[in-house]
């Protein structure tokens, strides 16, 4: 079913791309756009994950330079029955995370330094479980390709101002077509992004809560990320807004309304769904499993001895980096 949905989505995005080409250059522009769209689809299938990681200056880490983060992802991957994905760190104070890759065998998960510094150990585990749920559901290919094509359509719309509207380019709509290409096409691409992200977040929340075993861990993490993202900008995300739907929380703004124009469902609605899930799980006796606690050799009494609580009145503050040595040297992201 996901394969069929992906094929239909790619066909729709390709048609939109061709429509923009027609509005800019008529039938000739449409054929050129078809060739570009086909090449973009093929290139995106194999390289979109690398492009997204490069856009956000993600640094790959392993068990040597980020032992705890790597151990969390490895344990959660084992629970979910997934291959171990590549792990990346994004140097931004805004807490956030995303997953990418064309399939589970070629997946990658990325967490920001802000996420690792501001969230508790179990909240980080819940966030990464959510991202692994996207991998397991094979959402990452669709979401990553949509990000690439949406960016390309937006760029093509910008080019329309310089190359469209000329009587010699066989454009039947003239300057009106150029305006449509400049305004409507990027807006349509944005709408597709929103639809793709919103239909997948609730399912990933639920599966992520099942993987980590504690829905309230994820509820607490979502609340902290959403409140902090409202006041801490993500510079790289602002430069590449077409990738906003990849993140667990919209990195561009603190969107509150659960409507057609939000890239993600309202955080309050997601938290309510997780709280209801926790209540259902509490009524069923199950064997409790935990992600292994940190192995820093210090007293870990606290969050790993009990379930994380959803406490929206507390604002997360950054703490000293407990996640391992600096992955990029003394002047890298983990100062």
Catalytic residues: 131
Alpha helices in 81-168 (DSSP H): 113-118, 121-136, 139-163
- Beta bridge partners, 157, equal none
Q: What is d(CA 261, CA 190) in angstroms, rounded to the nearest whole number?
A: 9
Question: Do residues 140 and 49 touch, judged by C-beta distance below 8 A?
Answer: yes
* Total length of the chain: 335
Q: What is d(CA 234, CA 232) in angstroms, rounded to the nearest whole number?
A: 7
Percent of the chain that is helix, strand, coil (3-state, to 5): 60, 5, 35
Q: Assign residue 57 a region (left: φ > 0; alpha: ψ between -120 and 50; beta: otherwise).
A: left
């Amino acid at each position: 079913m996901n394969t069929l949905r992906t094929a239909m989505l790619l066909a729709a995005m390709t048609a939109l791309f061709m429509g923009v080409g027609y509005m800019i250059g008529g039938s000739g522009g449409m054929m050129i756009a078809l060739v570009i769209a086909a090449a973009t689809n093929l290139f995106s299938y194999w390289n979109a994950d690398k492009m997204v990681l490069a856009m956000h200056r993600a640094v790959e880490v392993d068990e040597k330079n980020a032992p705890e983060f790597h151990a969390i992802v490895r344990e959660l991957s084992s629970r979910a029955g997934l291959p171990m994905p590549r792990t990346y760190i994004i140097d931004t104070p805004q807490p956030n995370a995303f997953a990418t890759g064309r399939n589970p065998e070629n997946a990658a998960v990325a967490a920001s330094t802000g996420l690792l510094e501001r969230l508790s150990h179990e909240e980080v585990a819940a966030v990464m479980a959510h991202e692994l749920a996207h991998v397991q559901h094979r959402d990452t290919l669709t979401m990553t390709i949509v990000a690439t094509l949406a960016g390309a359509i937006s760029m093509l719309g910008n080019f329309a101002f310089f190359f469209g509207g000329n009587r010699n380019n066989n454009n039947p709509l003239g300057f009106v077509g150029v305006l449509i290409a400049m305004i409507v096409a990027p807006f349509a691409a944005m709408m597709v992004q929103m639809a793709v992200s919103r239909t997948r977040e609730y399912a990933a929340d639920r599966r992520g809560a099942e993987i980590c075993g504690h829905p309230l861990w994820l509820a607490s993490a979502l609340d902290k990320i959403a409140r902090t993202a409202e006041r801490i900008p993500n510079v790289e995300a602002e430069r590449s807004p077409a990738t906003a739907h990849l993140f667990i929380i919209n990195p561009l703004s603190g969107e509150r309304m659960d409507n057609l124009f939000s890239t993600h469902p309202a955080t309050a609605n997601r938290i309510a769904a997780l709280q209801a899930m926790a209540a259902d799980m509490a009524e069923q006796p199950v064997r409790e499993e935990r992600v292994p606690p940190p192995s820093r050799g210090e007293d870990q009494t606290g969050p790993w001895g009990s379930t994380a609580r959803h406490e929206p009145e507390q604002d997360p503050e950054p703490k000293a980096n407990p996640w391992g040595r600096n992955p990029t040297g003394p002047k890298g992201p983990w100062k």
